[in-house]
Amino acid sequence: MVVLFAGLDSTGQVRYLDEVPSGLACECTCLTCGAALVARKGSINDWHFAHQNGQQNPECLAGARNLLRQLTAQTLRERGSLPATQPYATMIRAEKASERFTWGEQERIESIDWQDPTGPRATAAELVLTEGRRAELRIAVEGESWGMAAGREHQGLLVVTVGMPDGVAFRSREALVASILGTMQAKWECPAGHHAWYARARSQVQAKSDAFRSKFEAARALFEQRRVAMQPLAAGPVPRDPVNLPQDPSFVPEPPLPEWAVDHKPGTSMLCYQLRDGERWVLYETIASGYLLRQWPEPQDGWDESFPPSLGSPDLELGAYKVSSYHQFIPAFGRYSAGTRSTSDARAVGAQFESLLKP
């Protein structure tokens, strides 16, 4: 809750509640609108300033936030250091790959040019980082949202967020400073030079996606070669043979395997799990990668955060969980399952899931 915790005295100095007498005797005015204030310092409600005429405007509460912002900047300046900083993190995705990237862990602040933040998007300090990169520091009061200001997209953005004080924290400057230090958090909201940073990250993920596709296409070509070699009679022109063997008109070629099942180990079962939340997953054994758990028909955003590490580890290149222990996985995964079917043919997985829907 936002309340007025300070006012201006007759000399224009900021006064806190413990520095003035109660009521109109405080002789303070609102920092924003200039109206006379009454110091409420009772024994039941939290101490606060109130407008004498009872007409408090939203702008007056915004002024209280701005004062808290300025007090935070002063506290940081006097302290001489910033709190531990959380890095910026994002997930970059391509067609066949995705990867989580972070920025800021290795950045060191070389110098700080402090300023006076007068609004929610005002710059509290200009920062010079490692190798001359630049960033700006802003101070947010709990509940405010952020974005880069127009014309400054090339710079990084570090946001220090403080909680809105309550109770006895409103009574004095010292209590407010203690509240600021106790709730303060710092996080990079945008990398310095982020256009180039994003371009490098996307290029890296795209290269992984292209490599995976090339590997997949090679595996599919090899599978097709083996499938054709195993057919008793290849399609194409009738060979020059004195015996003319007519083709069976009822012969229907099998549809190709789904892309994800090219590496399925022949003769092994696929377990089709219908989960309680409606998702569908398939567990199967591969020739090269062991057991995989894959979302069906396609991996959705966030698939790699669906299950705990005890069930398997997500492989972003394969687009599936790698299951290290089949025998431990089966009983552990049962609590997620609403029904199970099995098949050894990847082309029949859809039919198996449909059968689960029948009463």
Give the pLDDT of residue 120: 72
Q: Are 140 and 72 in contact (CB under 8 A)?
A: no
Mean pLDDT (the chain) is: 84
Mean pLDDT across the stretch 230-243?
54
Give the pLDDT of residue 64: 84
Q: Are 255 and 241 in contact (CB under 8 A)?
A: no
Q: Which is more confident, 251 or 135?
A: 135
Dump pLDDT digits (tens) for 136-151: 999 988 877 654 443 3
Give the pLDDT of residue 352: 92
Tokens of 99: 């990867």
List phi, psi (to 5°) of 24. -70, -15
Give the pLDDT of residue 283: 95
Mean pLDDT across the stretch 352-356?
90
Q: Residue 75 in 3-state DSSP?
A: helix
Give the pLDDT of residue 28: 93
Mean pLDDT across the stretch 229-244?
55
Give the pLDDT of residue 149: 44
Mean pLDDT across the stretch 48-76?
85
Tokens of 280: 């569908």
Tokens of 219: 């595996």
Dump pLDDT digits (tens) for 174-197: 988 998 899 999 999 888 888 888
Tokens of 54: 């009872």
Which residues, in sequence order, are CB contacts of 204 under 8 Å at separation 6+?
A: 92, 99
H/E element holding 314?
Answer: strand 313-315
DSSP label of 298? S
Q: Which of 4-8, 144-148, 331-335 has the lowest mean pLDDT?
A: 144-148
CA angle 280, 284, 285 (to 5 degrees): 165
The domain segmentation of the chain, as residue ranges, is 6-56, 78-197, 259-357
Dump pLDDT digits (tens) for 203-222: 998 999 899 888 888 888 88
Give the pLDDT of residue 311: 92
**Separation of alpha carbons 311 and 324, rounded Å:** 8
pLDDT exceeds cutoff 90 at 121: no
With 0-12 / 13-18 / 19 or more C-beta atoms within 10 angstroms meaning exposed / middle / buried, residue 21 is: exposed
Which of 53-67, 122-136, 255-269 has maximum average pLDDT? 122-136
- Which residues are 50's β-sheet partners? 38
pLDDT exceeds cutoff 70 at 47: yes
Of 165, 159, 118, 157, give the one whose Cα is nearest residue 140.
159
Question: What does the DSSP assignment read for 224-262?
Answer: HHHHHHH-SS-SSSPPS-SS--PPPTT--PPPPPPGGGT
Of 23, 27, 162, give the one whose Cα is nearest residue 82.
162
Give the pLDDT of residue 249: 64
pLDDT band at 259 (very low <50, low <70, confident <90, very high): confident
Give the pLDDT of residue 356: 87
Give the pLDDT of residue 73: 92
- Which residues are 114's β-sheet partners? 125
pLDDT band at 236 (very low <50, low <70, confident <90, very high): low
Sole residue written with tokens 């230090």: 181
CA angle 190, 196, 201 (to 5 degrees): 85
Tokens of 252: 């229907």
Q: What percent of the chain stands above pLDDT 90?
A: 28
Q: Which of 68-72, 133-137, 194-198 has the lowest mean pLDDT?
A: 194-198
**Separation of alpha carbons 8 and 15, rounded Å:** 6
Q: What percent of the chain stands above pLDDT 70?
A: 90
pLDDT exceeds cutoff 60 at 240: no
Mean pLDDT across the stretch 72-86?
90
Q: Which of 224-228, 234-238, 270-274, 343-347 has the lowest mean pLDDT?
A: 234-238
Dump pLDDT digits (tens) for 299-319: 888 888 889 988 999 988 888
- Which residues are 291's β-sheet partners? 285, 323
Q: Which is more confident, 144 or 277?
A: 277
**Separation of alpha carbons 248 and 235, rounded Å:** 12
**Separation of alpha carbons 15 and 13, rounded Å:** 6
Q: Which of 46-60, 139-153, 190-204, 263-277 has the lowest mean pLDDT?
A: 139-153
